[in-house]
């Protein structure tokens, strides 16, 4: 049986874990890192890089390097004005109103880019585990809407993963913490990642992890803090030199990289130096940035960002029906929670010392691995009861959003409400399904529309139309409408919203698979070449040492075969390299005996 | 400190709204009276700190201080409603059951929206009406003496037998009195309902719904019966009042069945603490959740039923003024009376679906 892994597909970094003997273990990537930068790059040479390699070459290739793609997942063009100011790569409006990126003339959806990251994680996990990985649990911010969740699921499918479930990041984190704590308690999870802020309140007890409320800010994350520092650097630079560098994409990327580094350093140090030599060139010569940034200054720059965490926490507490003092534990998730000012804010709001025993970058993936174990029956005595984080309802007369399922309702759930017609002799009603918290339908996220037709022609207000919302444990929404008198019935499964049709997904699955095969061949070639090169070098060295102790014919045979191998080593014929490597090894046997004899 | 919006009444705003500023002294805690509207219905509300003012459910008032606070609030509620009632004239005014609060104006508006059909129906029904209350008491010893005086033959050697005959005669007399009152007053009313008798001497506590243009006729008829039974009875004639007794009974209909069904599905007793409700819920979820029963196609449905039942029970408990003190044992009572006092807006509150085409 293949393994099921838990994947935290983060805005800036991704992480994966697997259950080993009932305990979650982080799977390192092929580079040996425990987290993988969520960056995909397309080089001028046509190479595709993912992870650290992609991130490192970003300053030299700003247009071809896609970072923080998660901010665009399942989003509509109109929703991402704030995100666009951070992205250095070109984004454009897709056909279905979603957000696309163009690199080297090719158009990609965010789902495809995310799938590339997932594909790398999948391949690295397979190498590490030595078996195939076909199933995964992927986490998303609790405040992701249906379209964003669907987009994430689609990304998994494109990457060749059967996504068993999409679960909320803070919920996953609580699972990772909860394993060893069996007492009844109320936990607040504070999750400030690269691109999103989530807060969840859970009740733990008797093995049940019950999400009571979630809230968050889909536009608040570490990227915003970096931007605050960059803005400050630009302003200082402009004041000193009268130069605005904000238009130079390469300079901007270097500024972002420096800002992130400074931010991380200031979590442990009171001050740091930002040095960016040759940030720009003027007729008077090159200009450099060399500025000191203190923790106090950073706190000032990010005060308004930190303040934005207050409202979601208060709202979540109110929704959960509890006071801050009733919180027993506070769990931190996301690299941003290392910032002392953030931890101070949490202490101020909750009066509790936050838990830090699990690495905030890894805790979500570990929780996802546990949930995989729960679903496969490997983990007993744990059950996650999640909630729908946004209200669901339909549009009613006057463009009003009428909720059927309130946010923070436990799923699975089902709810029916009776509606009636607004006009005399109305023969059809349109059921417009929406998700969101605004009282007006227009400000909520539309999930789909369907019609209930052939209604009996009667006076308004007489018909009874039952509208039923059904959400299963996977969060998949189904809406039914039935005219009680005639029994007419219509239903939809909410499929739309992610921006991808089934055809598009299967096309992407195919191309991703083809790429994976090509990548596999390339990796195999690289491995064979490496092996051959190292071997040839080693044998050459031995030969130089021991040639006096073997026959001249044997020595010349070895030399010949090294030359033969080196002739094909730069080629692409894996089999030929292998054959010639084996031939060399065979010829070099005599050297081994000699080496051992000595 | 727990700030909520206390709702006194809803009114039909099609012919304007009353000048609430004209009411001296404001609502409970002297808070200014304000209005929240949805379509042609307006709610009269004021802000209340429910921690400070005990709106307590009947039978739950324990300390003297709470009782006093409750009484003061109730009085204010009645005064405000009387003022609104007088101001709205014959436009239609619907007093809501005492103690109904909402979190904020949005929630008030949502209640109006959800209960719109019922509210509209009641406003139409109550338009141009008033409530008049007749409380009738008798002095039983005096009645018995009168009976004995009229029927000397009843007094026999056997005292027990005499007493029995006397009481039977008294019952017959009471029946006659009530019939006379009914025959005189009921034809002049649109509707009537009986309230519980408050003292041993009280034989009738009846609320009449009377059209405003029949008020004088009704007054005269009350005078007639009062004069007829002047010797034996005392009449209390109260009103005109807002039609307290002719609303919100039906607004709550169905809720008890719903709450009761949900309570039973969660396998809870008739009185349950918040902790025991949560624990029963958790146990059922763990038992039935599809993640724990991957091969059982019915598991999802059972879980949904448990979740739905819990939502209803929770909504009911949260609607109770004592919810903040959750955890007290036997705090939440699921009896019919308690549930019907709670005013949860019925799910059947039909809203108008959007038209297209």
In a domain, A324, yes or no: yes
Residue A349: inside a domain: yes
Q: A172: pLDDT confidence band, cut at 50, 70 and 90?
A: very high
Say whether B106 and A395 touch across the interface (CB within 8 A). Answer: no
Same domain, A110 and A187: yes
DSSP code at position B32:
P
Q: Evaluate whether residue A37 is within a structural domain.
A: yes
Sort B105 into a burial class: Cβ within 10 Å, 0-12 / 13-18 / 19+. middle
- Picking from B107, B89, B93, B94, the residue whose alpha carbon sits closest to that of residue B6 is B107
**Catalytic site positions of A:** 8, 70, 169, 191
Q: Is the predicted pLDDT of residue A236 greater than 60, yes or no? A: yes
The span from the CA of B66 to the CA of B60, in Å, is 10
Q: Say what the pLDDT of residue B60 is.
A: 43
How far is the C-alpha of A371 from the C-alpha of A473, rounded, in Å? 13
Nearest chain A Cα distance for residue B218, angstroms: 37
Give the residue among A12, A362, A24, A2 at the shortest CA–CA distance from A164: A2
Print pLDDT tens along chain B (357 aa). 778 888 888 898 888 888 888 888 888 888 889 999 988 899 999 998 877 766 654 334 456 666 777 788 888 888 898 889 888 877 788 888 777 777 788 878 877 876 776 678 778 878 888 999 999 998 888 888 888 888 777 776 677 777 777 888 888 888 888 888 888 888 888 877 777 777 778 888 888 989 888 999 999 999 988 888 887 888 889 888 888 877 643 344 336 778 888 889 999 988 888 888 888 998 899 899 998 888 888 998 899 889 888 888 887 776 665 565 555 555 777 887 777 655 544 332 222 222 222
What does the mean pLDDT of chain A come to?
86
- At B201, list the tokens: 């001497």
Mind listing the pLDDT tens digit for each residue in A364-391?
A: 999 999 999 999 988 888 888 888 888 8
**Tokens matching residue A137:** 């649990």
Q: pLDDT: is A26 or B250 the higher one?
A: A26
Of B304, B307, B355, the CB nearest to A429: B355
Q: pLDDT higher for B59 or A524?
A: A524
State whether residue B308 sits within 8 Å of chain A by CB. yes
Query: In Å, how far are A192, A411, B260, B303 from B265, measured between CA atoms?
Result: 40, 18, 9, 11
Cα separation of A223 and A555, whole Å?
61
B102-109 long-range Cβ contacts below 8 angstroms, 24+ apart: B102/B4, B102/B5, B102/B7, B102/B45, B103/B4, B103/B5, B104/B4, B104/B5, B105/B5, B105/B36, B105/B45, B106/A439, B107/B5, B108/B5, B108/B7, B108/B36, B108/B43, B108/B45, B109/B36, B109/B37, B109/B38
Contact list in B for residue A379 (CB cut-off 8 A) is none
Same domain for A318 and A277, yes or no, is no
Give CA–CA dist A104/A473, Å, rounded.
Answer: 41
* Shortest distance, CA A27 to any CA of chain B (angstroms): 25
Task: Give B303's contacts in chain A (Cβ within 8 Å).
Answer: 412, 473
pLDDT, residue A40, reads 96
Tell me the C-alpha to C-alpha distance, in Å, between residue B244 and each of A477, A497, A594, B122, B303: 43, 50, 110, 11, 41
* A401 and A516 inside one domain: no
Is the model more confident about B63 or about A174? A174
B318 touches chain A (CB under 8 A): yes
Lowest mean per-residue pLDDT among A494-508, A553-567, A581-595, B83-97: A494-508
Question: What is the reported pLDDT for A30?
Answer: 92
Q: Are residues A430 and A394 in the same domain?
A: yes
Looking up tokens 């029927």, which residue turns up?
B151
Task: Indicate whether A251 belongs to any domain.
Answer: yes
CA distance B9 to B98: 9
The beta-strand segments (E) located in B212-327 are 233-241, 271-272
- Taking an 8 Å cut-off on Cβ atoms, the answer to whether B351 and A439 are in contact is no
CA A203, A475, A175, A362 torsion: positive or negative? Answer: negative
Task: State both tokens at A324.
Answer: 């801050």
Considering the domain architecture, whether residues A47 and A151 belong to the same structural domain is answered as yes
The residues near A224 (Cβ < 8 Å, ≥ 6 apart) are: A86, A305
User: Residue A402: pLDDT band by 50, 70, 90 thresholds?
Assistant: confident
The whole domain housing A455 covers: 390-493
Residue pair B151/B254 in contact by the 8 Å Cβ criterion: no
| Buried-exposed string B241-279: b where 16+ CB fall within 10 A, e elsewhere | bbbbbbbbeebbeebbebbbebbebbebeeebbbebbbe
Please state, as a whole number, how many other Cβ atoms lie within 10 Å of the Cβ of residue A540. 15
> What ipTM does this complex have?
0.71
Cα B23 to Cα B155: distance, rounded to the nearest angstrom: 61
Do A569 and A517 lie in a common domain? yes
Same domain, A523 and A417: no
Q: Rounded to whole angstroms, how far apart are CA atoms A48 and A515?
A: 10
Angstroms from B300 CA to nearest CA on chain A:
7
Q: Are strands A208-217 and A106-108 parallel, antiparallel or unpaired?
A: unpaired
Same-domain pairing of A215 and A360: yes
Six token digits for residue A260: 């992130």
Q: Please report how the helices B159-185 and B140-150 are oriented relative to each other, as an axis angle in degrees rounded to 10.
A: 100
- CATH of residue A558's domain is 1.20.1270.10
Answer with the one of A468, A493, A518 that is the final residue of a domain.
A493
Nearest CA in chain B to A415: B308
Q: Are residues A176 and A198 in the same domain?
A: yes
Tell me the pLDDT tens digit for each residue of A125-137.
999 999 999 999 9
Residue A147 domain-assigned? yes
User: How close does chain B come to A476, measured CA to CA in Å?
Assistant: 13
- CATH code of the domain in which A422 resides: 2.60.34.10
A4-8, A108-112, A496-500 — which is least confidently predicted? A496-500
A306-361 pLDDT, tens digit each: 999 998 998 888 888 788 888 988 999 998 999 999 999 999 998 889 987 889 99
Whether A430 and A375 share a structural domain: no
Whether A212 and A339 share a structural domain: yes
pLDDT higher at B153 or A150: A150
Return the CATH number at A161.
Answer: 3.30.420.40
Say how far residue B125 (Cα) sits from the centre of its chain. Answer: 17
In 3D space, the residue among B94, B353, B112 whose CA is nearest the CA of residue B244 turns out to be: B94
Burial of A169 (0-12, 13-18, 19+ CB in 10 A): buried
Please tell me whether the peptide bond between B23 and the residue prior to it is cis, using omega within 30 degrees of 0: no
Q: How many domains in chain A? A: 4
Q: What is the pLDDT of residue B114?
A: 64
CATH number at residue A289: 3.90.640.10
Pairing of strands A477-483, A465-471: antiparallel
The length of chain B is: 357
Element (DSSP H or E) covering residue B319: helix B299-319
Which residues have C-beta within 8 Å of that of residue A88, sequence separation ≥ 6? A58, A62, A63, A65, A67, A249, A252, A253, A256
Residue A503 included in any domain: no
CA nearest to A471 within chain B:
B304
A74 contacts A113 by C-beta, under 8 angstroms: no
Compute the C-alpha angle A99/A103/A109, nearest 5°.
30
Q: Please compute the mean of the pLDDT values over residues A218-246 and round it to a whole number.
A: 87
Dump pLDDT digits (tens) for A429-449: 888 898 887 767 777 888 888
CB contact under 8 A, B291 and A419: no
* Residue finishing a domain among A305, A322, A342: A305
- Test B285 with A385 for CB contact under 8 angstroms: yes
Distance, CA of A243 to CA of A236 (rounded, Å): 10
d(CA B312, CA B255): 10
pLDDT at residue B253, rounded to an integer: 36
Q: Looking at the partner chain, which of A413, A417, A460 has a beta carbon nearest the beta carbon of B308?
A: A413
Q: Does the residue A480 lie in any domain?
A: yes
Same domain, A40 and A102: yes
> Is position A500 within any domain?
no
Distance, CA of A535 to CA of A457 (rounded, Å): 86
The predicted structure's pLDDT at residue A169: 92
Cα separation values, A557 from A117, A529, A534, A583, Å: 46, 21, 19, 10
Domain boundary among A442, A470, A493: A493
pLDDT at A355: 83
Inter-residue contact A38 to A70 (CB < 8 Å): yes
Question: Which is more confidently placed, B48 or A121?
Answer: A121
**A406: nearest CA in chain B?**
B311
């Amino acid at each position: 049986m293949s393994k099921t892994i838990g994947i935290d597909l983060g805005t800036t970094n991704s992480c994966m874990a697997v259950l080993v003997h009932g305990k979650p273990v982080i799977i390192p990537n092929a580079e040996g890192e425990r987290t993988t930068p969520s960056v995909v790059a397309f080089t001028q040479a046509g190479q595709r890089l993912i992870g650290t390699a992609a991130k490192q070459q970003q300053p030299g290739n700003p247009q071809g390097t896609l970072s923080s793609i998660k901010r665009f997942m399942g989003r509509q063009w109109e929703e991402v004005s704030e995100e666009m100011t951070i992205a250095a790569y070109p984004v454009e409006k897709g056909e279905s109103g979603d957000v696309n990126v163009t690199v080297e003339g090719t158009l990609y959806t965010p789902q495809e880019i995310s799938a590339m990251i997932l594909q790398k994680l999948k391949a690295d996990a397979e190498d590490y585990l030595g078996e195939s990985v076909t199933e995964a649990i992927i986490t998303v911010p609790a405040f992701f809407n249906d379209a964003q969740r669907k987009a994430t699921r689609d990304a998994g499918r494109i990457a060749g993963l059967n996504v068993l479930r999409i679960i909320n990041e803070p919920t996953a984190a609580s699972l990772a913490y909860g394993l060893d704590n069996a007492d009844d308690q109320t936990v607040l999870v504070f999750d400030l990642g690269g691109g999103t802020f989530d807060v969840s309140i859970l009740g733990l007890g008797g093995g049940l992890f019950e999400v009571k409320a979630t809230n968050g800010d889909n536009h608040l994350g570490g990227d915003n803090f970096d931007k605050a520092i960059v803005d400050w650097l630009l302003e200082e630079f402009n004041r000193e030199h009268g130069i605005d560098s904000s238009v130079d994409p390469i300079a901007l990327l270097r500024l972002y990289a420096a800002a992130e580094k400074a931010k991380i350093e200031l979590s442990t140090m009171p001050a740091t130096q930002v040095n960016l030599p040759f940030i720009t060139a003027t007729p008077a010569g090159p200009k450099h940035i060399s500025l000191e940034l203190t923790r106090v200054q950073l706190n000032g720059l990010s005060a308004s960002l930190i303040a934005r965490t207050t409202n979601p926490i208060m709202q979540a507490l109110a929704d959960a029906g509890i006071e801050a003092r009733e919180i027993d534990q506070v769990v931190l998730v996301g690299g941003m929670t290392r910032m002392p000012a953030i931890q101070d804010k949490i202490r101020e709001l909750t009066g509790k010392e936050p838990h830090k025993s699990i690495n905030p970058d890894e805790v979500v993936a570990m929780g996802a691995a546990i949930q995989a174990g729960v679903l496969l029956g490997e983990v007993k005595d744990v059950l996650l009861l999640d909630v729908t984080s946004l209200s669901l309802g339909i549009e009613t007369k006057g463009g009003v959003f009428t909720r059927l399922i309130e946010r923070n309702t436990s799923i699975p759930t089902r709810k029916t409400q009776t509606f009636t017609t607004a006009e005399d002799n109305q023969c059809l009603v349109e059921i417009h399904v929406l998700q969101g918290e605004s009282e007006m339908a227009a400000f909520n996220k539309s999930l789909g529309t369907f019609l209930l037709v052939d209604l009996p022609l009667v006076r308004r207000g007489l018909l009874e139309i039952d509208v039923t919302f059904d959400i299963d444990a996977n969060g998949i929404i189904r809406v039914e409408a039935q005219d009680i008198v005639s029994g007419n019935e219509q239903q939809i499964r909410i499929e739309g919203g992610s921006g991808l049709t089934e055809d598009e997904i299967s096309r992407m699955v195919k191309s991703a698979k083809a790429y994976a095969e090509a990548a596999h061949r390339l990796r195999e070639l690289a491995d064979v070449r490496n092996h051959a090169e190292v071997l040839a070098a080693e044998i050459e060295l031995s030969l130089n040492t021991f040639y006096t102790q073997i026959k001249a014919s044997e020595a010349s045979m070895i030399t010949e075969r090294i030359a033969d191998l080196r002739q094909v080593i730069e080629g692409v014929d894996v089999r030929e390299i292998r054959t010639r490597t084996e031939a060399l090894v065979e010829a070099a046997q005599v050297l081994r005996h000699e080496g051992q004899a000595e | 400190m727990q700030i909520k919006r206390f709702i006194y009444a809803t009114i039909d705003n099609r012919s304007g709204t009353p000048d609430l500023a004209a009411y001296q002294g404001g609502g409970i805690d002297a808070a200014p009276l304000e209005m929240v509207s949805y379509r042609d219905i307006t709610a009269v509300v004021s802000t209340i700190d429910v921690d400070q003012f005990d709106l307590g459910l009947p039978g739950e008032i324990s300390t003297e201080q709470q009782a006093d606070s409750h009484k003061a609030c109730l009085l204010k509620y009645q005064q405000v409603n009387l003022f609104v009632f007088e101001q709205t004239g014959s436009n239609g005014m619907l007093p809501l059951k005492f103690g109904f609060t909402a979190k904020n104006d949005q929630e008030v508006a949502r209640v109006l929206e959800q209960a719109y059909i019922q509210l509209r129906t009641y406003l139409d029904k109550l338009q141009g009406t008033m409530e008049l209350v007749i409380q009738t008491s008798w002095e039983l010893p005096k009645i018995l003496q009168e009976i004995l005086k009229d029927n000397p033959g009843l007094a026999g050697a056997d005292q027990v037998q005499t007493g029995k005959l006397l009481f039977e005669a008294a019952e017959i007399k009471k029946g006659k009195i009530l019939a006379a009152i009914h025959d005189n007053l009921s034809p002049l009313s649109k509707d009537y309902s009986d309230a519980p008798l408050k003292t041993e001497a009280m034989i009738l506590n009846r609320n009449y719904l009377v059209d405003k243009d029949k008020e004088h006729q009704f007054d005269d008829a009350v005078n007639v019966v009062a004069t007829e039974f002047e010797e034996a009875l005392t009449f209390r004639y109260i009103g005109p009042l807002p039609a307290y007794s002719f609303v919100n009974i039906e607004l709550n209909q169905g809720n008890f069945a719903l709450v009761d069904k949900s309570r039973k599905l969660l396998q809870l007793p008739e009185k349950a603490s918040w902790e025991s409700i949560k624990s029963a819920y958790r146990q059922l979820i763990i038992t039935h959740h599809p993640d724990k029963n991957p091969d059982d196609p019915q598991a999802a449905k059972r879980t949904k039923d448990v979740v739905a039942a819990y939502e209803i029970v929770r909504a009911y408990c949260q609607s109770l003024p004592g919810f903040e003190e959750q955890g007290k044992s036997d705090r939440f009572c699921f009896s019919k009376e308690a549930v019907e006092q709670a005013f949860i807006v019925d799910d059947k509150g039909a809203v108008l679906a959007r038209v297209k085409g």
